[in-house]
Structure 1
Amino acid sequence: MSNVDPNRRPSNAGRYAFLLILGLVLGVIATVMTMRALNERKDHFPDALMHVQQWHMGQLKADMDANRCNATDILPHLQALRVTANDIDAAFPDLRDDTRFTAASSAMRAATDKAIANPPLTCDGLGATMKSIGETCKACHQDFRG
């Protein structure tokens, strides 16, 4: 004879577990959708500008490491750095009135102007130019990067 009570109802634990898992999955989906919507509202221009400048500095370093330091190799990157330096103030409108920020962006433009006007002809010269430009970047990042 079996010990099963014929009047006993089956447990609802399976249903509750299913609803719990379904709720967790829907919560994760809603969170991801919310995060993506918030990210779409963000202004990507400042980050993109910094990435482009970083890429050009990386290309200059790669040229220097490959001992390709003639003007035809490095001038396009220096010119691109100068052109993008024009957009720094526009990329950070909240900092436009800060004198430290405008001084740093002006220093970046001055360093790239100097490099373009008198391009380095050796890898040692390129290293010094990159150091000069990098110091202007570092000064700004120390004051304003989070």
Structure 2
Amino acid sequence: MSEPQPTRNDPKHGNGAKYLALLLLGLVIGAVCTVMAMRAIQARSDPFPHSVMHVQGWHLENLRNAVEQNRCTATDSLPHLQALRVMANDIEPAFPGLRDDKRFVDASSQLRGALDTALASPPDNCTALGKTTGAIGQACKACHQDFRG
């Protein structure tokens, strides 16, 4: 005679596999829903303000690196100074909530003034470029002290 086969209701066999499968399914669905929610939140945020700051930071860092590497000719620094000046025009549009704040407007104007001075007489040695990057950095710092979160 053959042994009886266990039935589904046999108390010797638990439901652990079912529970594990449901747990894994719940984790997968939760992860998918979390990603979808994060994407929806991200889609509502405006990347423009952060983009302007990142591009300006990149150009300023390249100017500082040029000083460290002793590559301070006008042909090395002028493209970065020009790009910084163009991007400085986008500061107020990038932060429309701060347009009416006098400190913000003054800091933006100070940055544009430092860049206009540098472009009117481009630095042609590392000492001059160091002073120029210092003036630009101070203008950035003035704004960041008041408004950076």
Fold equivalence (TM over 0.5):
yes
- Give 1:129 shift: 0.6
Structure 1: where are the runs of 5+ without partners? Answer: none
1:122 correspondence with 2:125: yes
* SS at structure 2 position matched to 1:8: coil
Aligned residue for 2:81, secondary structure, equals: helix
TM-score, scaled relative to structure 1: 0.90
- 1:109 corresponds to which letter in structure 2? R
- Aligned equivalents of 1:93, 1:46: Cα separation in 2: 10
Spell out structure 1 runs of 4+ moving beyond 4 A.
none
Shift of 1:42: 1.2
Give the drift of 1:62.
2.1
Structure 2 unaligned blocks of 5 or more:
1-5
Tell me how far apart the structure 2 counterparts of residues 8 and 33 of structure 1 sit (CA, whole Å): 42
Task: Tell me, in whole angstroms, the C-alpha distance in 1 between the residues paired with 2:132 and 2:78.
Answer: 12
Is structure 2 residue 18 aligned with structure 1 residue 15?
Answer: yes
Q: By how many angstroms is 1:135 displaced?
A: 0.6
For residues 67 and 60 of structure 2, the distance between their equivalents in structure 1, rounded to whole angstroms, comes to 11
CA distance in 2, matches of 1:143, 1:56: 22
Report the 3-state secondary structure (helix = DSSP H, G, I; strand = E; otherwise coil) of the residue aligned with 1:120: coil
Q: CA deviation at 1:13?
A: 2.3
Choose the corresponding residue for 2:53, options 50, 53, 58.
50
**Mapping of residues 73-92 of structure 1, within 5 Å:** 73-92=76-95
Q: Relative to structure 2, which stretch is displaced further, 10-19 or 85-94?
A: 10-19
TM-score, normalisation: structure 2: 0.89
Q: How many residues align?
A: 143
Find the aligned partners of 1:142 and 1:95 in 2 and give their Cα distance: 14
1:114 partner letter: T
- Of the candidates 87, 100, 105, which is equivalent to residue 102 of structure 1? 105
Q: What do the CA deviations read for 1:8-65 (whole angstroms, capped 9, x no partner)? A: 3432222122111210111011101110121122111111111111111121122222
Over the aligned positions, Cα root-mean-square deviation in angstroms equals 1.8
CA distance in 2, matches of 1:16, 1:94: 52
Percent identity over the alignment is 57
CA distance in 2 between counterparts of 1:115 and 1:76 reads 12
Distance of 1:141 and 1:32 partners within structure 2:
32
Distance 2:118 2:70 in 1: 18
Please report how far the alpha carbon of residue 104 of structure 1 lies from its aligned counterpart in structure 2 after TM superposition. 0.7
